[in-house]
Amino acid sequence: MIATYPFSAVVGLDDLKLALVLNAVSPRVGGVLVRGEKGTAKSTIVRALAAQLPSVDVVAGCRFACDPAAPDPDCPDGPHDPGEHRHRRPASLVELPVGASEDRLVGSLDVERALTEGVKAFEPGLLAGAHRGVLYVDEVNLLHDHLVDLLLDAAALGTCYVEREGVSVRHAARFLLVGTMNPEEGELRPQLLDRFGLTVEVKASRDPDERAEVVRRRMAYDASPEEFVARWTAQESALGERILRARALLRGGVALPDTRLLQIAAVCAGFEVDGLRADLVTANAAMAHAAWQGRDRVTEEDVRVAARLSLPHRRRRDPFDAPGLDEDLLEELLDRHRGDDDPDGGGTPDTPPDGPGSQPDQGEAGPTPDPGPNSQLDRGETGHNSQLDQGEAGPTPDPGPNSQLDQRGAADQEEGGDDSLGGVTAVAGVGAPYRVPVMKVPGLGAGASGRRSRARTPRGRATGARVPHGKVKDLHLPATLLAAAPYQKERGRTGAGLLLRGGDLREVVREGRESNLVLFVVDASGSMAARRRMTAVKTAVLSLLLDAYQRRDKVGLVTFRGRGAEVALPPTSSVEAGAARLRSLPTGGRTPLAEGLARAAEVLRVERMRDPDRRPLVVVVTDGRATAGGDVDAAAGLLRGVACVVVDCESGPVRLGLAVRLAARLAAEVVTLDDLGTVVREHRKAS
């Protein structure tokens, strides 16, 4: 086995190191989510931390890592006698691969043996392995939905519970959850986000010296791991001792004065976090930090450090908000709720650079700081409903600094006038998203589970029974009994109880919802801009994107204007990327509609190879007025058999009905921009 890279030898990444250390000091901090680009040594540092965790005593032979001092009363390998053999081993580090099966995660219970032999045979899964150690999930955002559910249950209860047809097993599963994710590849569900105590953004350093040092150390390690590790022994043992000292301090009691607790509560309230979990995590992290600093009393600095790590992912936010925490707001909240009866109160080392009142547009009365030029979108933090209200209340809000540009550009632009080459282009602003009607792919799919179209899924409503392909997991008891009943005499049954054979077993067929690929094909030509519709169009697409995010769809964006079409966003699960592309999408020029459709067909062709079970839904957003490019009929033919919706953007007194004609060619449903905002109904493809 190769020696683990030393924790102390990791260059930079101070926030991440601190977050991990706080968790090592106090399991109550509740894990770390590491967000950032690939190739930033995330997994190296997590492994390094696991090696720093204190060793654990376990009951010898127990596959569930029972503590001899307090064995799990439900342990499937128990009950354990107090005198049983024990041994000491390092805390475990278990990696959960994103493609793991349910059995691999929670363990498997052999229903067949339970029914036919009456034996409760349980094979422990990764959760059992992670008990009293670290469960590491690389790319946690790519984890399958139902694994996420199982993980959430286990993390919330500290227990792994497996049940198959009334046969159940339960064992303790308490672990430090560390996940990594690249936000470009899709966000996490809020419930899962909330499960991580702390979150850290990680970026590779831009400092040449630091980067060089990273490479130097890495090369030295790769050349001779043992030698490299030996050079860091002193630092590593100092770190280990400091963690142990901090743990001892914490056990002895770190004081959390009322003033500091109130400060924590005020900060959490100020950032509008949901629930009280944030307060609890922040308090625990502040106490762990105090202990780490060798103090037995929480100071404002501890609160500051804890809040910076515990709040960013808990702010109520839209997927369109930028990550991170508003540090100015944090300083202001700390400042305002400092309390004056605490000795350490005012004397914090770094006074905020912006004292209260130094911001010109900040009214004295208003407790809410001005969120800045992007306020409309930032206000996602006030919740979805308020956005809905805003959306319905009146004219589309026009937030960004680009709005002037939009109007000027639109005014200059005559319909179909300019070619894109030197033509006038503009960037329209985006309004607050609203709730849109559900659009579904007709028929019954078999794609990854989600919340859009009907599909055969492992979860969901039972609709029938079938002979299982492999091992039965989801037993259909009545169907199993019916299958066994005719053979009882033949099998020599005399007394009570059915005689079952493996071949009698039937499993449940279920129907639920799948997620889809929603591909937006957006007309960004001059005819759309001329009518000043582009802001409304962008807002509608943003709303549809948000809807797709909530339904766990993959999304893609094709735009067409001027001389051709482009893939503004290749299919991805990251709705942030889609929103960003949309925001900066320029408008103007002619309308090459056929190119847009053809490009969409090409995207679908590639995606079908990559992800064949995921059914597409194409949403064409246009006024249907093709002023350039190839034959629309031929291009529409490329999308034959694909579920389509046309969002008709035509407005004004004289209507040509071109989008409606396009819809007929695509056998698509037509929805107007107004419909999107007001009507809630199910989409059905015309056949």
- Active site residues per annotation: 277
- In the complex with Zn ion, the residue whose CB is nearer, 28 or 170, is 170
Strand extents, DSSP E, 283-352: none
Binding mask 197-216 for Zn ion (x = CB under 5 A): --------------------
- In the complex with Zn ion, the residue whose CB is nearer, 68 or 450, is 68
Q: Please report the DSSP string for 505-526 in residue order.
A: --EEEEEEEE--EEEEEEE-SH
Angle at 669 between CA 652 and CA 559, to 5 degrees: 70
Residue 398 φ/ψ, nearest 5 degrees: -125, 85
- Write out the binding residues for Zn ion, residues 78-97 only, by CB under 5 A: 78
- In the complex with Zn ion, the residue whose CB is nearer, 162 or 558, is 162
Judged by CB under 5 A, which stretch of 68-76, 371-379, 436-444, 675-683 contacts Zn ion?
68-76
Instruction: Determine if 66 is a binding residue for Zn ion (CB under 5 A).
Output: yes
Judged by CB under 5 A, which stretch of 59-67, 212-220, 278-286, 569-577 contacts Zn ion?
59-67
Distance between CA atoms of 428 and 406, rounded to whole angstroms? 5
Judged by CB under 5 A, which stretch of 60-68, 120-128, 268-276, 511-519 contacts Zn ion?
60-68
Instruction: Determine if 172 is a binding residue for Zn ion (CB under 5 A).
Output: no
Question: Can you say how many angstroms the Cα of residue 171 is from the centroid of all Cα atoms in its chain?
Answer: 28
Smallest separation (angstroms) from Zn ion to the CB of 127:
14
- In the complex with Zn ion, the residue whose CB is nearer, 123 or 149, is 123
Distance between CA atoms of 426 and 585, rounded to whole angstroms? 9
Smallest separation (angstroms) from Zn ion to the CB of 104:
20
- In the complex with Zn ion, the residue whose CB is nearer, 76 or 380, is 76
Smallest separation (angstroms) from Zn ion to the CB of 27:
19
Instruction: Determine if 75 is a binding residue for Zn ion (CB under 5 A).
Output: yes
- Write out the binding residues for Zn ion, residues 631-670 only, by CB under 5 A: none
Distance between CA atoms of 355 and 349, rounded to whole angstroms? 15
Which residues lie below 8 Å from residue 585, measured CB to CB, with a gap of 6+?
427, 428, 522, 524, 538, 559, 568
Smallest separation (angstroms) from Zn ion to the CB of 162:
16
Number of separate helices (H) and strands (E) present in the chain = 25, 21
Instruction: Determine if 129 is a binding residue for Zn ion (CB under 5 A).
Output: no
Instruction: Determine if 246 is a binding residue for Zn ion (CB under 5 A).
Output: no
Smallest separation (angstroms) from Zn ion to the CB of 123:
15
Q: Which residue has tokens 């009142």? A: 357
Which residues lie below 8 Å from residue 329, measured CB to CB, with a gap of 6+?
270, 271, 369
Distance between CA atoms of 683 and 667, rounded to whole angstroms? 13
* 219: region left, alpha or beta (phi > 0 left; psi from -120 to 50 alpha): alpha
**CA-based torsion, 255, 258, 259, 260: positive or negative:** positive
Residues binding Zn ion: what is the number (CB under 5 A)? 6
Which residues lie below 8 Å from residue 37, measured CB to CB, with a gap of 6+?
182, 184, 202, 203, 204
Instruction: Determine if 520 is a binding residue for Zn ion (CB under 5 A).
Output: no
142 contacts 185 by C-beta, under 8 angstroms: yes
- In the complex with Zn ion, the residue whose CB is nearer, 127 or 557, is 127
Q: Is 421 exposed, middle or buried (0-12, 13-18, 19+ CB in 10 A)?
A: exposed
- In the complex with Zn ion, the residue whose CB is nearer, 122 or 434, is 122
21 contacts 184 by C-beta, under 8 angstroms: no
Whole-angstrom CA distances from 589 to 118, 412, 425, 465 are 74, 12, 7, 57
- In the complex with Zn ion, the residue whose CB is nearer, 66 or 428, is 66
Smallest separation (angstroms) from Zn ion to the CB of 28:
23
Smallest separation (angstroms) from Zn ion to the CB of 124:
10
Distance between CA atoms of 62 and 82, rounded to whole angstroms? 13
* 527: region left, alpha or beta (phi > 0 left; psi from -120 to 50 alpha): alpha
Q: What's the maximum distance between 2 C-alpha atoms anywhere in the chain?
A: 92
Distance between CA atoms of 69 and 78, rounded to whole angstroms? 14
455 sits in which H/E element: strand 449-466
Judged by CB under 5 A, which stretch of 72-80, 263-271, 556-564, 612-620 contacts Zn ion?
72-80
Instruction: Determine if 62 is a binding residue for Zn ion (CB under 5 A).
Output: yes
Q: Which of 64, 136, 196, 560 binds Zn ion (CB under 5 A)?
A: 64
Judged by CB under 5 A, which stretch of 32-40, 62-70, 149-157, 614-622 contacts Zn ion?
62-70
Among 313, 205, 217, 303, residue whose Cα is nearest residue 260: 303
Judged by CB under 5 A, which stretch of 58-66, 178-186, 607-615, 645-653 contacts Zn ion?
58-66
Among 245, 314, 312, 306, residue whose Cα is nearest residue 274: 314
- In the complex with Zn ion, the residue whose CB is nearer, 124 or 429, is 124
- In the complex with Zn ion, the residue whose CB is nearer, 68 or 556, is 68
Q: Which of 77, 318, 326, 514 binds Zn ion (CB under 5 A)?
A: 77
Smallest separation (angstroms) from Zn ion to the CB of 56:
13
Interface residues toward Zn ion, by CB under 5 A? 62, 64, 66, 75, 77-78
